[in-house]
Structure 1
Amino acid sequence: MFQSSRSVPRWPWLAAFAFALLPALSWAHGISAEDRQRMLEGGYLQYVGLGATHMLTGYDHLLFLFGVVFFLTTLRDVAKFVTVFTLGHCITLVSATFFGLTWNYFLIDAVIAISVMYKGFDNIGGFQRVFEMEKSPNLLGMVFGFGLLHGFGLSTRLQQLPLGDDPAAMLWRILSFNLGVELGQIAALAAMVAVLAWWRHTHAFRRIAHAANLLLIALGGLLLLMQLHGYLHDSDPDGFRFPAQEHRHLHEDMDVDRTVDPSRNQL
């Protein structure tokens, strides 16, 4: 269904590259103990810096943005879609954090992973090929909707930080983090747009564009599986650890500690 017109299969290479990125993907949203302590000791600039770092290492957000701007050829179109996405994630990032609205972040990130797959699927004309639709769903509306979702995902992680009890100070910390997110997004987008602008003027773009979006779908799928796996660990931690008590009873039943029979030392 998602195969290239070239006869050489691309999936083995895509899978190899995707698995090579898994260690980095697994740390896409972590808030470390060092970050928490730095927030307690620092000021608003700490939140700006963490927001920027969080966006620059938020691979699911960057993959989605990469898919959004992949075929945009004018700065006006880039600005339009990025503004809509930014508006969406600012709304939920600020409001959900301030009012303490949250959900299981593994499930939120799983849906964000689906947004990555969605954009890759849209970029290869999936709606036309698979569903025989004349055109894809309204992209501007979808980008805004996914922006709301991405902002909610950012909010669940920000709420892990010490934000204080004073509403005014808490709001400034949230806005500082949000400013950092926007600065990180601008830096990442500048690099993406520059690379894509150069790439489009090469002969390789037409040959590799389809495979690049297949890779986007594959990475989104891996992120989805990873987040669902994390959710299962989070919702049922006892189901994923070795039952030590049962293991001890099993050893007692098998008498495995008696690996040597001392009675054999006597004739």
Structure 2
Amino acid sequence: MFGRIGRPLLGVVFLIATLAAQAHGISEADKQRMLDGGYLQYIGLGASHMLTGYDHLLFLFGVVFFLTKFSDVAKFVTVFTLGHCITLISATFLQITWNFWLVDALIAISVMYKAFDNNGGFQKHLNCNSPNLLAVVFGFGLLHGFGLSTRLQQLPLGEDAVAMLMRILSFNVGVELGQIAALTVMVWVLSLWRKHASFSRFSTLANNCLMAVGALLLLMQLHGYQHDSGAEEFRFPTKEHEHAHEDLEVDKSVQTDRESL
């Protein structure tokens, strides 16, 4: 049974992890578009950033996975939204930042945490009750907002404080719109899935896959932190790889036995 179900799910795990590694960079085209456009550009970028921010969406997916009442979904999503709004707005406006590889590594841990909690990990492995979920979701909301802030601070926000605040708020509005759109799809899909027997059979497997995605994201973020010598750039460290090739003497190897072909 796992062979038929597990392999496709693992394929999805690797696909999402690969996409997530590419999701957070602010391209030069986006930067120029921000310079040329107005507040609507920031709203659009905020929405698209959330819709491609797979680590944020995976965490939210874990949060709503077992929630069946609309009131519960609204409660937890509101707490999460409040948390990430606080740090997104305040950290960006006050220009408080940190290495984004490490922030994203912590966000990956939040995905793993929620999957572990969904599978009853605290009760099964630690012999204790889960921490208060509302408090945890709020705390991780603060973390996710800081992660969004590290990306927003790569954009030209201007020197005027009022205009800068308006751009930050516009980006935040876009993030909320993207979050609403993504959550609508998640909750709808989960509500349909719960009507089938496969939900109870594979819910543990689904959360194990969620944990695996979080672990892969964590490894990729730590790998990026280790190899990227500039914390302010999202780039490939070519110099380090050139030195690696020199050490291996790859560039010095010459094969002459096929020159006559």
Fold-level similarity (TM above 0.5): yes
Which residue is equivalent to 1:192? 186
Q: Deviations over 1:3-39 (max 9, x none)?
A: xxx8869765543332233331222212111111110
The correspondence for 1:235, drawn from 229, 232, 235, is: 229
- Who wins on radius of gyration, i.e. which is larger? 1
Q: Percent identity?
A: 64
Task: Check the 8 A contact 1:14/1:218 in 2, yes or no.
Answer: no
Task: Check the 8 A contact 2:16/2:54 in 1, yes or no.
Answer: no
Task: Check the 8 A contact 1:112/1:149 in 2, yes or no.
Answer: yes
Q: How far is the alpha carbon of 1:248 from its aligned partner?
A: 7.2
Structure 1 residues 119, 245: closer, same or farther in 2, change over 3 A? closer
Structure 2 unaligned spans of 5+: 231-236
Matched ranges for 1:24-39 at <5 A: 24-39=19-34
Structure 1 residues 183, 249: closer, same or farther in 2, change over 3 A? closer
Q: How far is the alpha carbon of 1:172 from its aligned partner?
A: 0.1
Which residue is equivalent to 2:70? 75
Corresponding residue pairs, total: 250
Return the TM-score normalized by structure 2: 0.89
DSSP-derived class of the 1:47 partner: helix
Matched ranges for 1:17-166 at <5 A: 17-133=12-128, 135-166=129-160
- Could you tell me which amino acid in structure 2 is paired with residue 32 of structure 1? S
Structure 1 unaligned spans of 5+: 1-5, 261-267
Runs of 4+ residues over 6 Å off in structure 1 = 6-10, 247-250
Structure 1 residues 130, 235: closer, same or farther in 2, change over 3 A? farther
DSSP-derived class of the 2:242 partner: coil
Distance 1:7 1:39 in 2: 47
DSSP-derived class of the 2:138 partner: helix
Tell which deviates more after alignment, 73-82 or 241-250.
241-250
Distance 2:249 2:211 in 1: 45
Distance 1:203 1:224 in 2: 32
DSSP-derived class of the 2:137 partner: helix
DSSP-derived class of the 2:226 partner: helix
Distance 2:141 2:37 in 1: 29
Distance 2:153 2:124 in 1: 41
Return the TM-score normalized by structure 1: 0.87
Which residue is equivalent to 1:202? 196
Distance 1:61 1:180 in 2: 14
DSSP-derived class of the 1:242 partner: helix
